[in-house]
Amino acid sequence: MSQLSAVRRAQAAPPARAWVMLVAGLLAQASGTLFVSTPAFLIPYLHAERGVSLAEGGMLAAAPTLGLVLTMVLWGALADRFGERLVIALGLALTALPALGAAMTTDLVQLGFFLFLGGAASASVNAASGRVVIGWFPRDR
C-alpha cells in the first residue's frame, strides 16, 4: 500500500516551474509589502528632522494603504481579464515609478500623492499573486 501512495504522490507532485512561481510570488509580495509598510517607519524621521506633526506623519504612512484598498478590486478584475502574471509585472513596474517620485520629492503633499499611487499600484500583487501560486499546485498541496 505504501508503494501505491508513493506513486500517487509522485504523480501529483507539482512541476519544478511551480516552485519558481512560488518564489516569484513571494518576492513580488515582499516588494509590495515593503512599499506599503515602510512609510510608517519614516514617521520619527519626518517628525524630528522635517518638523512634520505626528498626525501628518500618520496620514503619510496611511497613504499607500489607502491606495491599495481603493484599487484592490480593480486589480483583481484586471487579473481575471488579462492574467495574473501580466498584472503582477505591470503593477510592480508601476509601483517603481511612484517610489522614485517619492524618493526625489521634498514636498510633503507630493510625497503623500506618490505614496498613494505606489500603494494603488502595489495592490496588483495582493490581488493576483495568490492565484498564480494556487494555479501551479494541486489542491492537496
Amino acid at 35: F
Q: Is residue 65 part of a domain?
A: yes
Q: Is residue 15 part of a domain?
A: yes
* pTM across the whole model: 0.84
Q: Is residue 68 part of a domain?
A: yes
Cell of 30: 515582499
Taking only the tens place, the pLDDT of each residue in 14-64 is 778 888 888 888 888 999 999 999 999 999 999 999 999 999 999 999 999
Please tell me the total count of domains within the chain.
Answer: 1
Q: Is residue 36 part of a domain?
A: yes
Angle, helices 16-41 vs 54-82, to 10°: value is 160
Q: Give the domain extent around 82.
A: 2-136
Q: What is the residue-averaged pLDDT of the chain?
A: 88
* Average pLDDT over every residue of 110-135: 91
Q: Is residue 141 part of a domain?
A: no
Residue 83 has φ and ψ, to the nearest 5°, of: 105, 150
d(CA 37, CA 43): 12
Q: Is residue 89 part of a domain?
A: yes
CA dihedral 72, 74, 80, 82 (to 10 degrees): -120
Q: Give, in degrees to the nearest 5, the angle at Cα 85 between 81 and 86.
A: 60
Q: Is residue 93 part of a domain?
A: yes
- Burial label, 3 (beta-carbon count in 10 A; 0-12, 13-18, 19+): exposed
On whether the CB atoms of residues 132 and 21 are closer than 8 A, the answer is yes
Residue 139 has pLDDT above 80, yes or no: no
Sign of CA dihedral 106, 110, 114, 119: positive
